[in-house]
Structure 1
Amino acid sequence: MKNKVMQTHVIKKYEQGVLQDADDLIVLEEPLTITVNGHEFGTMLCTPADLEELVLGFLASEGVIRRADEVDSVLIDEGKGFAYVVLKNKQGFDPEGAFSKRVIGSCCGKSRQFYFQSDVRGARTILRAPSISAKQCCHLMSTMQEQAEDFKQTGGLHNASLASVDGILVTRSDIGRHNALDKLFGYCLRNNVSLKNKVIVFSGRISSEVLLKVSKIGVGIIIAKSAPTTLAIELARDLEITLVGFVRGDRFNVYSRGDRVVG
């Protein structure tokens, strides 16, 4: 059975003064083109695992759908790299209106544009979220990292986990930080997961796009291994999201809604 996360490649490895051939596990990166009601919506570069969740989460994040039951069918053709989506409301999608075809890179930054219209439709102010202790923040991060077997083997994946304050519930991985979140969003939509009192644990940097995705998912606390950007902090404060960054060992920084984090 094909591994959807990594492949073995023969490389040359230099170690302890010796250069020799070796097998190495390399994370997969493949294009996936999404069509909606027969119209090409976009092409993303991703790790080809949990693709239906990725598609659902991405469409929800972009404001095309709000619930999984708005989708009539999703057909994934992995061989060709296409996802064919049919919406139940076939008149509700305007490919020439608010959306356009674009290539979405596996890295964050200038490869993804800031789409204010879909952000306005989907972003939520999170007024209710659980309290979380400092020890729980550190424990959730260490647990996610301990469980990240694919990352340990390849070193090339980002992880996003949905958790309660007491433990990790589900984790999704991808070469793209935003893709990992979309997969997590798609999982929640497909399985009708209650997001009350949930936390997102994240391996990457917190950009404004990542923060907006957390808001669209509907979770009020994000715990990240890396740093936030200035715009991410501003958005977190505006949207009442608790943003915890630089979670390393037994230390971290709280950038917004620190009243939810207790000693």
Structure 2
Amino acid sequence: MSYLLAPNPKAKGLSTAVTGLDQNGNTVDLHVVTERPLTLYLNSQEIVTMMTIGDHPDLLALGYLINQNMLRATDPIDTIEFDDELGVVIVRTPVETDFEVKSKKRVRTSGCAQGTVFSDVIDAFDDIQLASNARLHTSWLPILTKQINTTPSLYLDAGAIHGCVLCREDQPLVYVEDVGRHNAVDKIAGWMAKHNETADDKIFYTTGRLTSEMVIKTVMMGIPILVSRSGFTAWGVELARQSGLTLIGRARGDRFTILAGQERVIFDNKADDAS
């Protein structure tokens, strides 16, 4: 398979070799995923400190700002600067952003700069129209899941990590991982913005639960179809139905469950109920 971006489980610093004991007291050697803090600045304003495995800090920073509605995907970016030693990434824009302007007003009036960020995200979420003509053939799902599950990854090498994959039809295009599923989603958003990638014809696959956060981020990216091998939360389902997102969970092989947006699904690979 040919990815545009794929995990590199052997990359330096992403995992650490440790020694322990098994259930019989025998010595075992294994790799565990690393975590490191990354502090994000938007121009001169500190935004958040994230725990991450440390790869693709530029994509993570850009995607976080977009998914939090602090930047638009079309906003001009001067530079994205990363200091590995300090654990800092700075996204610089040619002019002060709307978020910075609003944050200054909030500091003056309430003393809380980011207390209403969530409401801003929900306002933007409510205004997004997902592509109604997008389609998902059920015959694509077993092909996709097999390719993703057999791709060399930190998950296979060390576990304790989430993966997210941007797909088109039955082909995975971009596969990233992180200790938090939200970080992995943001890396995808950053990659899409960096490469001016369209969203209408894409499928988003995640190893994590289909929570409200996952639904909101997928809709914020404009992707009409979200698939997971895991299960759902009630609010995630409610938001998917509200936004018109196609929501598919428990996707394993040719088995899955659709709880929203079934009008986009073409059933061309029905599973044998007797099997």
Which TM-score bucket, shorter chain as reference? 0.7 to 0.9
User: Does 2:217 align with 1:209?
Assistant: no
**Letter of the structure 2 residue corresponding to residue 116 of structure 1:** S
Q: Which residue of 2 aligns with 1:74?
A: 80
Q: Flag the structure with larger Rg.
A: 2
Mapping of residues 50-69 of structure 1, within 5 Å: 50-67=56-73, 69=75
CA RMSD of aligned residues (A): 2.3
- 1:254 is matched with 258
1:155 aligns with 2:165: no
| Shift in CA distance, 122/257, structure 1 to aligned 2, threshold 3 Å | closer
**Aligned 8 A contact 1:125 1:241 in 2:** no
Identity, % of aligned positions: 24
Residues 221, 153 of structure 1: alpha-carbon distance in 2 compared, 3 angstrom cutoff? same
> What stretches of structure 1 of length at least 5 have no aligned partner?
103-112
Counterparts of 2:125 and 2:76 in 1: how far apart (Å)?
A: 15
Q: 1:240 aligns with which of 241, 244, 248?
A: 244
What SS class does the counterpart of residue 209 from structure 1 fall into? Answer: helix
Gapped runs of 5+ residues in structure 2? 1-9, 268-275
1:63·1:122 contact (CA, 8 Å) conserved in 2? Answer: no
Residue 121 of structure 1 pairs with residue 124 of structure 2: yes
Q: 1:148-202 CA deviation, whole Å, 9 max, x = no partner? A: 4211011111111111112101111101011100000000000111223110111
SS in 1 for 2:172: strand
Give the 3 Å change call, closer, same or farther, for CA 242–148 of structure 1 in structure 2.
farther
Alignment equivalent of 2:104, drawn from 96, 116, 123: 96
**Following TM superposition, by how much is the alpha carbon of 1:250 offset from its aligned partner in structure 2, in angstroms?**
2.2
Determine which of 10, 16, 19 is the counterpart of 1:7: 16
Cα deviation for residue 227 of structure 1 reads 0.7
- 1:223 aligned to 2:236? no
Deviation of the 1:121 alpha carbon = 2.3
Instruction: Describe the shift of the 1:240–1:98 C-alpha distance in structure 2 as closer, same or farther (beyond 3 A).
Output: farther
Equivalent position of 1:47 in the other structure: 53
Aligned-residue offset at 1:56: 0.3
For residues 156 and 215 of structure 2, what CA distance do their matches in structure 1 show? 26
Q: Tell me, what secondary structure is at the counterpart of 1:115? A: helix
CA distance in 1: counterparts of 2:11 and 2:204, whole angstroms = 29
In 1, the alpha carbon distance for the partners of 2:82 and 2:168 equals: 31
Once structures 1 and 2 are overlaid, which stretch shifts more, 113-122 or 220-229? 113-122
- Please tell me whether residue 139 in structure 1 is matched to residue 143 in structure 2: yes
Amino acid at match of 1:115: F
- Whether 1:198 aligns to 2:202 is yes
Among 22, 40, 43, the alignment partner of 1:37 is 43
TM-score (norm 2): 0.84
**Number of matched residues?**
251
Residue number in structure 2 paired with 1:107:
none
Using the size of structure 1 for normalisation, the TM-score is: 0.88
Kindly indicate whether residue 88 of structure 2 is the aligned counterpart of residue 85 of structure 1.
Answer: no
Q: CA shift at 1:119, angstroms? A: 2.9
Structure 1 residues 151 and 97 mapped into 2: Cα distance closer, same or farther (>3 Å)?
A: farther
Which residue in 2 is equivalent to 1:109? none
Give the secondary-structure state (helix, strand or coil) at the position aligned to 1:147.
coil
